[in-house]
Every structure is written in structure tokens, then in C-alpha cells.
Structure 1
Amino acid sequence: MTMIRTAGIRSAMLPVPVPVAVLAVLAAGCGTERAGNSAGADRPSRAGAATPSTPVDFPCPGESATSAPPTAAATTSPAVPPTDHYAENHGFMVPFPLHGRHRCEGLSAVARVEKALEPLRRRGDFAPENTRGALTGLGYSAGQVRSYQNGPTGVGFLIDTYPLCVEGTMNRDSTRAEAFGGHPDHSGCDRPSGGH
């Protein structure tokens, strides 16, 4: 009778430590495709999923196609940052512009606010409480409207319906309102008081 020796086989069947096994699996499958390599050229590109979309502005009701502002991609900024870091340090105070449907809602809100305040301006009524009353008359709650004296013959106001904000001033010469989408690192329409 012939005996088969199995001592060498048994030692090879000993369990491999888990970290070594995981390392072996990872090393076998990773690093086989490099940038510029044609392996996978027949597959669709995933670049579209990683690229953020550019906001699109379209004409709002009552607005012509030529009066729509340019999109964020078309606006230019200085190629060289300011050397005193003023813009960088005060960027938290720069409000977000509105785009798309939100821009249309903002333009509509601005038109309603200016129309409601114009009779007060023509009468020379720049009392903050009367400005607030006219704005709450548009359907904004008292907690959403702030008004304050802005010089001897003017009033300022803020309507906080975050993320749609309307801010402006009224004086003898004009009533001006502007809509925006809040401020960076801040949930609310009021201007943040601190930065980094």
C-alpha cells in the first residue's frame, strides 16, 4: 500500500489573516486603468455628473428677453484677487443673487413692494411704522417685516421670507427695492455681523 504524504498540503490550507487577504484582493483589482488610458473608452463619460450646473436665467413674466441679466457664467470677475483681502474678508456680507424661477418671484415681490410704498413716498410719509404697515398689508407677517429710519427723510426696510429676501429704501427721490437669496453661511435675510 502506498501512502500519500499530505503534510505540505495541510500547511498551505492554513487560514490566511484577513488583512493580508483584503490587501491581496485590492492589489489585484486596483490601478489597472490610468488617466489617458483607452481602457473604458467605450463607456460613457461621468464628467456631467461631477460638474455643477450653471444657473440659467430666463425672461420672467412682463420682462423682455433682452432685459434678463446675464447668467453667473457670463459675469466677469477680476483676474487678480485684491491684495488687501477686503473682498475675501467681507464676502460673507455679499448677498446671493436669485436665478431662474426664484429670480422671477423676486422681481414680482420687488414690483409689489415698490407699488405699495409709492403712495407713502409721494406724501412724504417716511415713518417706519407706516412703511411696515404698508408691507404687512401685502400679506407679509409682522415678524417678517423690519423698517427703520434711514436719515432725516428716509426709511429702510427688510422683508425676511428666507430664502427670498427683499430689502430697500424709500426717500423723497425714489423707492428702491432689491430681491436676493440670503447671505453665505447664514440662514436669514439680515446682513450677518461677523466673518472670519
Structure 2
Amino acid sequence: MQVIAATGNRHKLKEFERIFAPLGIEIAAQSDVCPALAVEETGETFAENAFLKAQAVHRLTGKAAVADDSGLCVDALGGAPGVYSARYGGEDLPHSEKIKLLLEEIAQAPDEKRTARFVAHICYIGADGTRIDAEECCEGVIGHAPRGEGGFGYDPIFMVGDRSFAELSDAEKDAVSHRGKALRAFAEKLSQGCGNQ
């Protein structure tokens, strides 16, 4: 089975491939199928944005599409950056600067107020129009400084236990991450034939 991943993020694409390969699902990159497609994320929730992306690819190609919308929700910031995680501080601000900005904004927060979660919503639209959604989160805390060389985005400051996401191996991260859990929940629903038209 082939599914088009409605993302231009190569890091997300790698995570999709790692988790779906053992399930016999081949992931095609949006950039290979419809490279000019750009979807504006106008939704107010992760679910709305994931649907917008999957729907756009499905409508353009007529093929099965899967999309993810995810973000970091920091309690000390009232749940921000949330759905604006990728645009936090500005569209073109490098991730290292987004991290710096976030750390500055919560610098005065005591450790017990640095709780946060990564949220991922997966939306799949099959070639026949069947829709399957799954949403999961991973609880953690925001570290005081970036740690680790792996991962991407906010991974260097998102702590699970005594390590940041950026310090975990791919297998360790996939086992506990919001996206890993959401992709597995989606795959389970797909294998059970769940979905709605």
C-alpha cells in the first residue's frame, strides 16, 4: 500500500517511513508527487491543520494521503506555541532562535511550571475518501538549555526523564514520541478498517 505523506518536512517524512515500513505501508513524499503544492495552515487546532494538508494532497492526486500537524504546548505559556510552533517568533526564524525565544519567555518559571507536551494529530484520507484520525501526546518538561544533537525543532529542550528528545536514538524517540504514538494509533485503526466517509 502506498500513501502520500503531505509534508515538506524531511524529518517528519523519515519518522513516517520508519514507523510505517514494518507495517507494509510505503510512503511517497509530497515533493515527489505534487512539489508545487503549498497548504496554508489556517486551522485553529492540530486536527484542522492535519485535515487541510491531507485533503489538499488527496484532492490533487486522487490517492491516499496522510498528514500530521504537531506542536509544542508549554503550560507556562498558556499552551503556546501550540498550533503556531513552526511559526513561533516568525516564519523564517531558525529553530535555534525559536528555542532561544521560548527559553527566554519561560526563564523565570520555576521547574514545576515548565511542564509541556508535544501533540501530534494524524489525518489520513484514503483513495476512496475514507478518513481516519488519531491524536496522541507526549508529556515532558522544558529544559533550561538545549541538549543533544539528534532530532529537530524543539527536541533539544523537550525533556523526557533525564534526556531530551535530541539525546534519544531514533528507536527510543519513536517509542515514546507524540508522532510515533499517533502514527501507531492510526495504523491500528487502519488495520481494523476504521474510518468514516
Give the number of the structure whose alpha-carbon radius of gyration is greater.
1
Specify the TM-score bucket, using the shorter chain as the normaliser: under 0.3
Choose between structure 1 and 2: higher strand proportion: 2
TM-score of the two chains, using structure 1 as the length reference: 0.21
Choose between structure 1 and 2: higher helix proportion: 2
TM-score of the two chains, using structure 2 as the length reference: 0.21
